[in-house]
Amino acid sequence: MFVQPLRILALAILVTTTGLTFAQDTPALTQEHSRTFTANKRYLIFPRADGLVGTDQIAVEVNGEPFLYVFDSPIAKTDPDFWTYLDLSLIQGKGITVRMRGPNEAGIELVKLSDTIPGRYPLYHEPGRPQVHFSPLRGWLNDPSGMIYFDGLWHLSYANTRFANRMAGPNNAWGHATSRDLLHWEEAPMLLNPVRGQYSFWTGGAAVDIENTTGLGHPDKAALVFSANNGSDAPNEFTQCVFPSIDGGMSVIFNPEMMFKPLPADVERRGGGTRDPMILWYAPEKKWVLIVYNKPKDGKDGFYFYESRDLKSWQETSVLEGMFECPNLFELPVDGNPARKRWVIWGSDTSYYVGVFDGKTFVPEGRKHRMHLGGFSASQIFANAPGGRIVQIGWGHLPESDFQSEFTQMASFPLELSLKTTPQGLRLSAGFISELATLRNGGSAKKDIVINPGKPLILPNVPDVMELDIEFDPGTAAQVTITANQLNLKWKAATNDLEFNSSTVSVVPTDGRVRLHVLLDVPSLEVVSNGGEYYTFEPRNFKKLDGKSPLKIAVEGGAVTLHRLNVYPLKSIQPPAIQE
């Protein structure tokens, strides 16, 4: 987004040739096609064909400067299956040049300016579209990035390939959405765009520039800083970058002095893909901390810690081995007691340590733990969340084969984390954010019901998208099964295991009771067990949903007392279905 003059200057420094040169590694290409536009509508829309990837290349320049260059795109040269887009909100009035090269380059004649995004389905109501979770309007989503709360807005960026439906490092952008309530999200222009051969931006973090290190903040509005990895297919691959923002996180400034930092500095200690820089302000020493994932050749996965006073030069302070990708570091009160706090360090594979951090070194207290299971990874927390909340969102994995059209993959439902004392020691606890209750649309309740073998409890016609709050005393039962359309939870007394889809979760009765909090969306199933002891994400076969189905609770081997069953239909967070 060429909004700030400093960014334009920086791009002129970074790009050593005028304009963009197409790659020559695609066979049988005809002469490239180009068109020019003036940004006087909200979107520039592109004709897409169904499919995960293609072989078409797309380059976009704004006022002669590189703006975006992606490849492996399945472009439609006639009769698009759907349309993808670039949001031009921040570059209104500027000149745009679009060039295409590839077997479907004639599709450039269909590229056009528009204030709407047409499609065969209403936006956000396509087959498989989540109705109570964030998902990208177009293209692929994976690692959440740059998550921060500022001036009343929650900012969620995410790895996004807008012009294909598969994770592709060299094409990786930061999609960007904002929300005022953590539920309803509005897509914004991409925060970081990929330009093949120059840069592509992978996972990173965000922080408020409290002490105005950048010199760009004002008394009435602080600057923000975003950290990102410059990924593959670039001259400075797998180096770390920091980007200031002076408009509340809607766009960033490219400052070459803060970009392309090779960390670790010693090339012999760098692995083939150092990445995922997480930035935070360490107030006790008034300095910046950057944590980077690295795996040296013949070495171990680990998080590498750096410190800086100016966001330009970074000094290594320590290494924590045994941690994998997407570092998160945050402090929590123990049992809600602000006088007793501990730090938690978290990796992409959802493993974490509880320990102490002195601004240089993280020292674990005890062994590594894991509480998130299933198809959930690469999570982040929102920096600067009000009230000290630790709110987490991860990548919810969906089967690629089911999503080859408008969008693919989704964000998990936001979770609030806390740190609790348990008989096994300090452990994280996770629960759906309390804002979920505002989506409830009526509901039904059952309590203190005895369910006997052969006489299941049946509730007819429960919706596909709903929240279940369940608490039961298993008594002497050998098994409790909870089923609905594309829902099959099975708790077994012999092992204290809860089985569903591909997951098995240990759910030992607490005070003689099993507690399950279940969130069902069109393509997903999430379960929080025993008040936050474990959280599990699993995909759901949306193709077999039919709108209404019975909910059935059956028991085997003995009677069960159902102390609580709350069934809440949920209102959609998506805009009304309007066919463009």
What local confidence, expressed as pLDDT, does residue 314 receive? 98
CA–CA dist 186, 201 (Å, integer): 21
1: Cα within 13 Å, side-chain hemisphere: 26
What local confidence, expressed as pLDDT, does residue 48 receive? 96
What local confidence, expressed as pLDDT, does residue 403 receive? 86
CA–CA dist 191, 157 (Å, integer): 7
What local confidence, expressed as pLDDT, does residue 31 receive? 57
CA–CA dist 479, 55 (Å, integer): 52
Amino acid, res. 113: L
Q: What is the mean pLDDT of each run of 10 residues along the chain (580 residues)?
A: 31 36 48 90 97 93 95 94 97 97 96 96 95 97 98 97 87 96 98 92 97 95 97 85 98 96 92 94 98 94 98 98 97 97 97 98 97 97 98 96 90 98 96 98 96 97 96 98 96 97 93 97 97 96 90 98 98 86
Q: Which of 210, 243, 233, 220 is nearest to 1 (CA)?
A: 243
Beta-carbon contacts of residue 198 (< 8 Å; ≥ 6 apart): 14, 15, 66, 69, 234, 235
Here the tokens at position 57 are 């290349």
What local confidence, expressed as pLDDT, does residue 22 receive? 60
Partner residues linked to 381 by β-bridges: 392
Beta-carbon contacts of residue 70 (< 8 Å; ≥ 6 apart): 57, 58, 161, 162, 163, 164, 171, 194, 196
* Rg, the chain, Cα only: 25
CA–CA dist 146, 149 (Å, integer): 10
Q: Kind of pairing, strands 372-374 and 534-539? A: parallel
* SS3 call for 269: helix
CA–CA dist 189, 268 (Å, integer): 38
Q: Three-state SS across 111-145?
A: CEEECCCCCCCCCCCCCCCCCCCCCCCCEEEEEEE
pTM higher than 0.75, yes or no? yes
